[in-house]
Amino acid sequence: MLYLWIFLIIVGFALLVKGADWFVDGAAGVAEKCKLSALVIGLTVVAFGTSAPELATSLTSAVKAYSDPTAVDLALTNVMGSNITNVLLILGLSALIRPLPVKDSSLKWDFPVLLFVSALVIGLGVWNGALEWWDGLLLLAVFAGYMAVLVVNARREQKLRLLNGDEEAPAPAPEGKVARWYFEMRKRGWFLALLTVLGLGMVVGGSTLLVNGATQIARIMKVETGLVGLTIVAIGTSLPELVTSVIAAWKNETDIAVGNIIGSNLFNILLIAGASSLVHSLPFAMDRLVDALVALCAVAVLYLCVLLGKKRLGRVGGALLLALFAGYYVYLFVL
C-alpha cells in the first residue's frame, strides 16, 4: 500500500507541474488578448501560476482538515518549507551556476517587504497560537496592496519605455512541428480558454492526490504530517520555481531567477497562508515557529549576502545558502 501512495504522489507532482505550466500559458494568452503588457502579466499571472501548486496543496489540506485533523499541518508547513527551499536550495543552486545580480528596486522594495511579511506571519501566529480567519484577512489585504503597487509601477515603467520608443518585440516562432503548432494554437481564444481550464483542473487534481498521499504515508511510516510537508511536499510544489530559476540562471536571465523566488515567497505567505487560514485555523505550535524563523533568517542571510556581494548573489553566497539548507535538513531528521 505504501508504494501505491508513493506512486500517487509522483502522479500528483506531475499533474501539478504540467498543470501549472498549461495554466500559465493559457492565462497569459488570455491576458495578452486583453491588451495587458508582458510585464504586468509576469508580475501577476506567471507569478500566480508558479505558486499554483502551493496554493492548491495548502487549500486542499485546509479543507481536508475537517475530516482528517492531521492534514492541517500540511497547509502551513508547505508554505514555510517552500519558502525555505526557494531561498536556500533554488537560489543557492542558481548562484552556483551563475552569479545573480539584484536590481536596486528589489533591494529597496521587494526584500524589505518580504522580510516584513515573514516577520508579520510569525507575530500573528505567536499572538494567537494559530493563524485565524482574521489573520488571513490581514495577510490578503497586504497582498492586495502589494499587487496594486506592483501594477502601478509596472504601468509607469511601460509608459516610460513607450515614450523612449522601446516596444516589446513579438516572440519568434519556435522550431519543431509540435512546438510551432502549439505556438499557433495559442493565438486562438478557445484554445487559450481550454488550456486555462484544463491546467487549473490538473493543478487541483494533482494537489488532491499529493495531500492524500502525503497524509497516508505519514500515517503508515508513523512520522509527523508536518515533517512530510516541510520536505517531500515543499520540494515537490517548488518544482516550478526550481526549474524556472535554474534554467533562467543557465540562460543568463538572472532577473527572472531572483524575481521569481522573491515573488513566489511573497505569494506563499500573503496569498496562500492567508487564503488557507480563511478555510481552517492553522495551528502555530513551537515547531511551526522554528520553521517560520528559519524562513525569515533565510531571507535575511540572502539579503546580507547580496549587500556584501555589491548587489549580487555570488557563488560563495550560493554555497552558503546550500550549506544552510543541508544544516536545516540535519535539524529536521537528526536533531
Domain harbouring 220, CATH code: 1.20.1420.30
Total residues found in the chain within this entry: 335
Cβ proximity of 281 and 76 under 8 Å? no
Residue 145 has what pLDDT? 93
Grid coordinates representing 236? Answer: 515537490
Q: Give residue 121's pLDDT.
A: 93
Asked whether 314 and 98 are in contact (CB, 8 A), the reply is: no
Residue 134's pLDDT is 94
Whole-number Å distance between alpha carbons of 54 and 238: 8
Average model confidence (pLDDT) across the chain: 81
**pLDDT 10s digits, 180-219:** 777 677 778 788 888 878 887 887 788 778 778 877 887 7
DSSP sequence for 110-161: IHHHHHHHHHHHHHHHHHHSEE-HHHHHHHHHHHHHHHHHHHHHHHHHHHHH
Residue 313: helix, strand or coil by DSSP? Answer: strand
Give the pLDDT of residue 42: 56
- In DSSP notation, 41-75 reads HIIIIIHHHHHHHHHHHHHHHHHHTTT-GGGHHHH
Q: In which domain, by residue range, is 72 found?
A: 2-333
Residues 146 and 113 sit within 8 Å (Cβ to Cβ): yes
Give the chain's residues under pLDDT 50: none
SS3 176: coil
Question: Residue 120: what pLDDT?
Answer: 95
pTM for the full model? Answer: 0.79
- 98-127 pLDDT, tens per residue? 888 888 877 888 889 999 999 999 999 999
Count structural domains, the chain: 1
Query: What are the cell numbers at 8?
Result: 500517487
Can you give the pLDDT at residue 181? 76
